[in-house]
Structure 1
Amino acid sequence: MPTGIGGVDAVLGGGLLRGSAYIVQGPPGAGKTILANQICFNAAASGEPALYVSLLAEAHDRLLTYMRPLRFYDAALVPERVSYLSAYPILEKEGPGALQRMLLEEVRRRGARVVVLDGLFVIHDAFGSEPAFRRFVHEMQGLASLAGCSLLMLTNQARSRAAPEHTMVDGWIELLDEIHGLRAVRALVVHKQRGSAYLRGRHLYRITDAGITLFPRLEAAQPCEPDTAPRNGRIGSGIAQFDTMLMGGYPPASSTFLLGPSGSGKTTFGLHFLGRCTPEEPGLLFGFYETPTRLMVKARRIGLDLEGLVARGAVEVIWQPDADNLVDELGHRLITAAQRRRAKRIFVDGLGSFERAMLHKQRLPALVAAIHNILQPLGATILYSREVQELDMLERLPDSDLSTMAENLILFHYARQGRLLHRMLSILKLRDSDFDPFAEEFHITPDGVRFGRRPLATARPAEADELPDVPSLGDTPPTGP
């Protein structure tokens, strides 16, 4: 039974099992009540009645007060399709046995397909003994099977993995609310779900006015067998002289890292790459540092009409501030936009923002690989800009995992001559292809990127004579050290 929460259904392998009981465990504030209500309203909206039974002392009308601001709440569904009962008085006066009888009667009478029992820890305290509590959980599993409903039993008790009740239910879901440094994050873990494939590990989620939005971990959600069909031809970079160095352009459906310090030209090369987009072969710019307005001004200054490309539907620009992001949220946003547009050219301007959004930095190679594998069926060629601190990195690369993360590596660096810094470009790696192995000087002009020696007009007279003899494309490279 789908929960109607896209990320949750993906993690659960499609949704909740019918005729099954789940323990949903988590500390106060993790979002158990919101998750359960969101499932109830989504089920009711699709025609399946839901019953929410509270064992807490507070009345259910107080609960509804907290649910009304959330977008999934629909007052028209209450109480006909989503019913609320306060069972605390029955439990207090007549005991757990009376509670079980009442539950079965109400589920049958209302035809409920989703049942929530909020406050399992109250039952544990009411029995006062572990055997009696386990028997109650076992009987609740039988009730779910008999009624053919999905039963969610919510508890804030942090019971251990070895607790016997976890063996008695069909599913066990844990919500976590954790502090990592200065950041607070929420995560969902499916520990158990009988007879169903599910995505293991921690999956981060947010709580907003839309309710819970969960982002399945991309490494777990990627296809088991990525598309490895060979593709012929080349994808032009938008810079003719650079295409010559690439022996025609980027390999199709490949991923490329543009590595270099700030101001070295990475974004400029990415804009040239997107300048070749058409409505039939659309592109996507996924950035963090420069707003769409600034990017359009920047493109105009190098002879590119990014504004026109956006107006014609050839390029879409998605910008988000480099703030308190969740890395899987960013990844899903990128993938969703690329799939929606069937994008063929993608420029991610700021891989460092993905890194900063990570709680565990060692995930980066697997994350980049997952994005590439998911987007490969589109035939998308992806460029990532990644800033590094060194001005000249020819002696040492900043990351030993670079080769595992990207198929092509382009290095932007500087050569110093006197008081002048010369922008240089070196191709370090190109998938299954030969390439120009020599560092080439380039400069950025109002007409775009040009390779070769810096024009004398751009140098101050006293410095013009100091310009190094940097070979341009077509020149014979110097010999010796």
Structure 2
Amino acid sequence: MDKTTSSPAAGGDAAPRLLKMGVPGLDDVLGGGLAPQRLYLLEGAPGAGKTTVAIQFLLEGAARGEPVLYVTLSETATELQGVAASHGWDMAGVEVREMLPSHATLEPDEQYTLFHPSEVELGETTLRILADVDKIKPSRVVFDSLSELRLLAGGSLRYRRQILALKQFFTGRQCTVLLLDDLTATDQDLQVQSIAHAVIRLEQVHPDYGAARRRLLVSKYRGQAFRGGYHDYRIVRGGLRVFPRLVASEHTPPLTQTRIPSGLAPLDMLLGGGIEKGTSTLFVGAPGTGKSSIAAQFAYAAAQRGERAALFIFDESISTLRTRCEGLGMDLAPFIESEQMHLRQVDPAELSPGELVHEIRHQVSERQVAVVIIDSLNGYLNAMPDERFLIAQLHELLTYLGQCGVATMLVGAQHGLIGTQMQTPVDASYLADSVVMLRYYEDEGEVRQAISVLKKRGGAHERTIRAFSLGQEGIQIGEPLRNFRGILTGVPIPIDGARSPS
């Protein structure tokens, strides 16, 4: 298990076996799971996924042969069965108890006159719950939801005493309790948070465009190290999936660095022999200068050597990429079929940054890919709910990939086509170990291309500006443009009447 980021538990006897939640990724956030025989709070607005997590928690216990109980005060058993069926689950091993008011309470003769409803209904509901617990003797119990108990209590003092009484009742009964709170009565119930052993909060964020983003926060966990901060999650068929926040410092750096060639001798010469594993390279330039093609060349060369590569494409379709590469002499089809090359088209409006990082980690840890390409940073920026945190998250991702010995390649499209006033939407040049710049320039009535390496931390590299072109012969890198000055301005000036090399 990964190391955690909060304070570890105090010393003493060995910790008890933690209960698995049954939610992929959530146990990692919780530092292994839930401590047994404690009371926990799961809160979130309606639609955040609390019921889904609760059912997964109980199904995990039922799969281990434990008696489990779902106490519902707001939804019917039929509605719960509908939720389970939507995920393809069988609720046969879960005991469900409805504590809903009878339709008879709507009759005038059933309305209370001498006593306040809370004085009668709360006591009756509590007695029915305790009787079922004594009968079933569950090891896991879910209460859905606290809003109903809060309304039945009628006041904060009585409500707090009721929760304390429930906690005391379950003490010694070998039972782990999960309380659900939909936050309809208050945004943050500090009364229950102070009583609960741990507090898990589910949140929904609705951007101006695209699908809702969901994130999870563990705000409290007594005596247990857990992974702090926000973690993205998604609700899909089969349940809720959590994508733990990446912490690069948890991973061990590689001992040695080796260069990987591009398969093009002139490009390798320009880069001082190739790109080192465990480093990141940024290809930056105007749209259409060939940034994506050079990055794809490295992935293609890696696949030819028998290594694996993963490409995450934001700005073009996979079919367009494959057609373009075929036109340059790179047939990706055999390597895609053999799974040496993984192509993923990313929709920034639908995929959260946490889920993208999770998929990249999966490719690295499970498939041992040697090359990762993110094309482009512009699309990655659009996937971020708040661009202020893009650099921080990108730094963690690049550090992690570097420590795993992966050669990472980023593509950044600049605003503008020709001239010195080229702007990049996000400046990641200081994060990358190498920076390769591609430029348009004008000569003899034609628009030509040039390539140069501006930075390389892994060793020496050529500082020349070379001619560059894409065509039926593939990627062509020509001789250094030594007889011109001002190439990066877009309108170079020949020195002593020199001509541009063809």
TM-score range, shorter chain: 0.7 to 0.9
SS of the residue aligned with 1:203?
A: strand
Aligned to 1:214: 242
1:73-472 aligned within 5 A = 73-74=89-90, 77-78=91-92, 81-89=93-101, 95-157=121-183, 159=186, 163-183=190-210, 184-217=212-245, 221-278=246-303, 280-392=306-418, 398=424, 401-452=427-478, 469-470=499-500
CA contact (8 A) 1:54 1:88 kept: yes
Q: Alpha-carbon deviation of 1:252?
A: 1.8
Judge conservation of contact 2:52–2:83 (CA < 8 Å) in 1: no
Q: 2:81 aligns with which of 64, 76, 80?
A: 64
Task: Find the residue that maps to 1:405 and give its secondary structure.
Answer: coil
1:150-198 deviation line (CA, Å, top 9, x unaligned): 2111122364557232111111222223323234322222211111122
Supply the AA of the counterpart residue of 2:145: G
Mapped partners of 2:285, 2:241: distance in 1: 35
Q: Structure 1's 365 and 170: CA in aligned 2 closer, same or farther, altered over 3 A?
A: same
Q: Which runs of 4+ in 1 moved over 6 A?
A: 90-93
User: CA-atom RMSD, angstroms?
Assistant: 2.9
Q: Give SS of 2:276's match.
A: coil
- In the superposition, the TM-score normalised over structure 2's length comes to 0.82
Aligned partner letter, 1:117: F
Shift of 1:84: 0.4
Write out per-residue CA displacement over residues 401-458 of structure 1, whole angstroms, 9 at most, x where no aligned residue: 424432211111111235322111121211142211222221113232112269xxxx
Distance 1:230 1:37 in 2: 45
Hey, what's the Cα distance between the residues in 1 that align with 2:454 and 2:383?
27
**In structure 2, do the counterparts of structure 1 residues 448 and 227 end up closer, same or farther at CA, with 3 Å as the change threshold?**
farther
Do the aligned partners of 2:40 and 2:177 also contact (CA within 8 Å) in 1? yes
TM-score, normalised with respect to structure 1: 0.85
The equivalent of 1:478 in structure 2 is: none
Task: Give distance in 2, aligned partners of 1:393 and 1:99.
Answer: 75
Alignment correspondent of 2:486? none
Letter in 2 for 1:181: D
Give secondary structure in 2 for the equivalent of 1:37: helix
- Does structure 2 conserve the Cα–Cα contact (< 8 Å) formed by 1:231 and 1:253? no
Report deviation, 1:470: 4.7
Matched positions, count: 453
CA–CA distance in structure 2, aligned partners of residues 5 and 404 of structure 1? 38
Specify the code of the residue in structure 2 equivalent to 1:131.
Answer: L
Give aligned-pair identity as a percent: 26
- The residue type equivalent to 2:262 in the other structure is S
Instruction: Give the CA deviation at 1:291.
Output: 3.6
Structure 1 residue 397: Cα displacement = 5.5
User: 1:139: how far off?
Assistant: 2.3
Question: Which residue identity is paired with 1:128?
Answer: G
Question: Residue by residue, what CA displacement relative to the aligned partner does 1:368-397 show, whole Å, maximum 9, x if unpaired?
Answer: 222233334542111111212132475666
**Residues 29, 384 of structure 1: alpha-carbon distance in 2 compared, 3 angstrom cutoff:** same
Secondary structure at 1:146 match in 2: coil
Per-residue deviation, 1:348: 2.1
1:34 aligns with 2:59: no
CA change 1:428–1:226 in 2 (3 A) is: farther
Residue by residue over 1:283-322, the C-alpha shift from the partner in whole angstroms, topping out at 9 and shown as x without a partner, is: 2222233444333322221122222233444322223445
What is the letter of the counterpart of residue 38 of structure 1? Q
Q: Decide whether the 8 Å contact of 1:440 with 1:471 is kept in 2.
A: no
Distance in structure 2 (CA, Å) of the matches to 1:162 and 1:92? 20
What secondary structure, in the 3-state scheme, does the structure 2 residue paired with 1:224 have? helix
Unmatched runs of 5 consecutive residues or more in structure 2: 1-18, 103-116, 481-493
C-alpha change, 1:146 and 1:89, in structure 2 (3 Å) is: farther
Residues 227, 377 of structure 1: 8 Å contact kept = yes
| Contact map agreement 1:365 1:404 (CA 8 A) in 2 | no
